[in-house]
Amino acid sequence: MLEAAQAGRGAHVAEVADYTMIGVAGRRLRVAQWHTGRTGHRPLLLLNGIGMNIELLEPVAEAMSERHVICFDMPGIGRSPAPIFPYTIPQMALTTASLLERLGIESVDVVGLSWGGALAQQFAFQHRVHTGRLILAATTAGAAMVPGDLTMMRHLADPMEYTVERTLKRNLASLYNGGGNAIVSLNAAIAPTPLGWAYQIAAFGAWTSTPFLPLLDMPVLIMGDDNDTIVPPTNLHYLHNAIPHSRLEMFTGGGHLFMLSQQERFVASVRAFLDSDPAET
C-alpha cells in the first residue's frame, strides 16, 4: 500500500511499510516497519487494540515520518498465525522484548492503544531499560477498570461477533466508534481468528497493572476521550493518579478511536511529548 507520508515536517515522500513474518519466542508474528532509515530519534513501538490488525494504524505510523515505527499483529490477529496455547500479558511483554532484540533495537518509545495500552504498561514495567517514553491511550489498569457501556462490553466478549468477515466491520464500527462524532474508516480491518480474539480477551481479564503503576518512573503521557463509551474517563484519571509525574491529556468527541478520528491532534500531541525536554514531563 502506497501512501503519501510526511518526511520530517517538510516535503512529502512515498512510503511503503516493510512487512515480514518473524519467528520469536515460539511464535510467528507479522511485523510492519515504517521509515527504517530514520535516525536522530528513538524508534517508536505501536501496540494495537484488541482484534485490530496493523493496517488500521497505518495512518498514525505514516504520519510519524521522522521516526522508525514498529507495529505487529498479535497472535491470531490480522495475519499473525493463531496461537496454539493461551498466553498472558506478561508473556507477550517478554515476546515483545525478544522481537525488538531480533530487530536489533535496544530501546523504544512505546504507544499503547486500548488493549495495547495494557501490554505497554507491562512491557514498561518488565523492561524498563528498553523503554524510553510511554504513551497510554484509551486504556485501563485491567481488572481495576471502571467498565464502559455494559451492552457494548457484553458484545465485546463474544468472539463469534468479531471473527466473521460479514459482521466484523459493522461490529467494530459500533464498538470502536462508540462515543465519537466522526466516522473512522475500518475498511482495512481483517477478521481475527476465534482463538486470537478469545485469548486476547482472556489475557486482559486475568491482568492488572495496579501493583506496579507507582513504579513506572519513565516519562508517561496518558490520553483519553471524554466521550469514550468503552474506556470511561475515570480510568484515565486513575492511571494518572497512580503513575508518578505522569501527564494527562483529554480529547472530546473522538470516541474510543480518537487517535484515528482526531489523528492530526493525536500525532501532534505524541510528537510534542516525545520531543519535549525531560524536565518538562
Respond yes or no: is residue 261 known to be catalytic: no
3-state secondary structure 154-179: HHHCCHHHCCCHHHHHHHHHHHHCCC
pLDDT at 162 over 80: no
* pLDDT tens per residue across span 214-235: 999 999 999 999 999 889 999 9
Percent of the chain with pLDDT over 90: 68
The mean per-residue pLDDT over the stretch 16-44 comes to 94
Per DSSP, the residues of 3-71 read: EEEE-TTS-EEEE--EEEEEEETTEEEEEEEE-TT--SS--EEEEPPTT--GGGGHHHHHH-TTS-EEE
Question: Which pTM value belongs to this model?
Answer: 0.89
- Positive or negative, the CA dihedral 78, 229, 274, 88 is negative
β-strands 18-24, 27-34 pairing: antiparallel
Candidates 125, 132, 140, 85; CA nearest to 108 is 132
More confident site: 173 or 184: 184
Q: Domain ranges for the chain, please list them.
A: 3-276
Give the per-residue pLDDT at 13.
46
What is the fold of 3-276? Answer: Rossmann fold (3.40.50)
Tell me which of 65, 80, 107, 114 is the catalytic residue: 114
- Cell readout for 166 is 460479514
The dihedral built from the CA positions of residue 221, 226, 230 and 235, taken in this order, carries a sign that is positive
Phi and psi at 66, nearest 5°, equal: -85, 0
pLDDT at 79: 96
